Chain A
Amino acid sequence: MRARLGWRLAPTPNPSLAGRGTRAPERLPSLFREGLVGASAASLLLLLAAPALAVLPSEQLSDPVLEARARDISRELRCVVCQNQSIDDSDAPLAHDLRVIVREQLRLGKSDEQAKQYLVSRYGTYVLLRPPLRPDTWLLWLGPFAALGLGGVGVFAYLRSRKGGAPVPLTDDEAARLDALIEQDSH
C-alpha cells in the first residue's frame, strides 16, 4: 500500500520545466514517443537475434549439406555429461568431442543412422534423445496412451452409471401418497 502511494506521489510536474516557455510541454510527449518507438524496435531486433550456438566455427564442416546433417544428428543425441541437453546445445567439452566425432563419421561417408550407431555402441541407447521402440521401452512409449484409455473408460463408466436406466414407475402406494399431497396442496 505504501509503495503504491509512493509511486503516485513521484511523477509530480517538475517546477523548473514550467518556467521554460510554452514549447517545452509539447516537445516532451514527442520525445517520449520517440523513446517508445526506439525501445519497441530494439525489442523486435532482440526477437530476431539468433541464440548463441554451442557449435564452434572450428568444428563446422565446409560442406553445408553435411554440416546440416551433422546438426540434425547432434540435436538427437544426448549430452552424456549434462543429460538434458542435446550435444548440439551443450557447451560441455565432451559434447564438443562427440560433435566432432559425428562430423568425422559423416565425412567418412557414413549414413545418419551409422553415425548415431557409432555413439550408441559406446554409450548405449541412453544417448538417443528419442529412445527406440523396443519391448523394454513399451511402457515409456505406450504408457501415456494406456493411461488416457484407462481414464476414458473410467469417465465413460461414470457417465453411464449417472444416467441410470429408465425411470421406475411409481408403486400404487406411492401414487396414492402423491395424489394425497397434490390434493392437500390445491386446497
Chain B
Amino acid sequence: MSRWLFVLPIVLFAGLIAAFGIGLTKDPSAIPSQLIDRPLPTFALPGLTADAPGLASHQLTGRPQLLNVFASWCAACPQEHPMLTRIAAEGITVNGIDWKDQPADGSAWLARLGNPYARVGSDPGARTGIDLGVTGVPETFVVDKRGRVRYKQIGPIDAEAWETVLKPMLAKLAAEA
C-alpha cells in the first residue's frame, strides 16, 4: 500500500508530461471551424473589377468545390498559388475570396501570378471572411454538393495536404448522393 503511494506522484507526473507533450504538437493558431457540416453563410460579393463576375454563396453548390480565402498582402499566398493552379488544372472548381484587400490590388496580384479561380469575390470590409470564421489567409474550405462546409484547411495547401487530405475528400464527396 505505502509503496504504491510512493509511485503515485511519479505516475501523475508522467501523465502530465505526456499531456503537455501532446499539447506541444498541436498548432494553437488552428482554431477549429464552426462551419463543419453546416451550410455556408449567405453572401453575395462583387467581382474584383467592374466586368468580373462576383461570388455568391448559392453558386457553391452542384459539385464539391474549394473556396479559398486569399489577399494580395498575404505572405503565404504566392507560395500556395502554384498548388491552386494545379488543383484547378485537375478539374476542381476553385473559388476565391479576396479578403481585407482593395479590389484593384487583388486583381493586379492575379494578373501578375495568373488566375486559378473560377470566380472571385471581393471582401474589402472583411465581413464575409468573419462570417466564415476566417482568422488569417490563406484558408480553404471544402464545400460539398449541397453547399455545406465539410473541411477547413488553415494555412497554405501544400502538395502533401492536397494529395493526402483534400483530393481524397473531394473524390469522396463527389461520390456522395
Contacts and interface: CB of A to CB of B under 8 A. Distances in A.
Do A and B interact? yes
Interface in A22-45: none
A123 B34 contact: yes
B133 to A, nearest CB: 5
Contacts of B34: 121-124
Interface string A139-176: 00000000000000000010001000000000000000
A149 to B, nearest CB: 13
Interface stretch (B24-32, B85-93, B167-175): B24-32
B115 to A, nearest CB: 25
Interface in A122-136: 122-124, 126
Given A80-B31, A83-B28, A123-B31, A97 B126 contact: yes
B46 interface: no
Question: How many interface residues does chain B have, given as a range?
Answer: 10 to 19
B135 interface: yes
B127 to A, nearest CB: 8
B170 to A, nearest CB: 25
B82 interface: no
A97 B31 contact: no
| Chain B interface, >50% SS class | loop
Contacts of A157: 5
Residues of A contacting B: mostly = helix
A81 B133 CA distance: 12
Interface in A93-110: 93-94, 97-98, 101
A123 B133 contact: yes
B136 interface: yes
A123 to B, nearest CB: 5
Interface in A72-98: 80-81, 83, 93-94, 97-98
B131 interface: yes
Contacts of B104: none
A81 B137 CA distance: 11
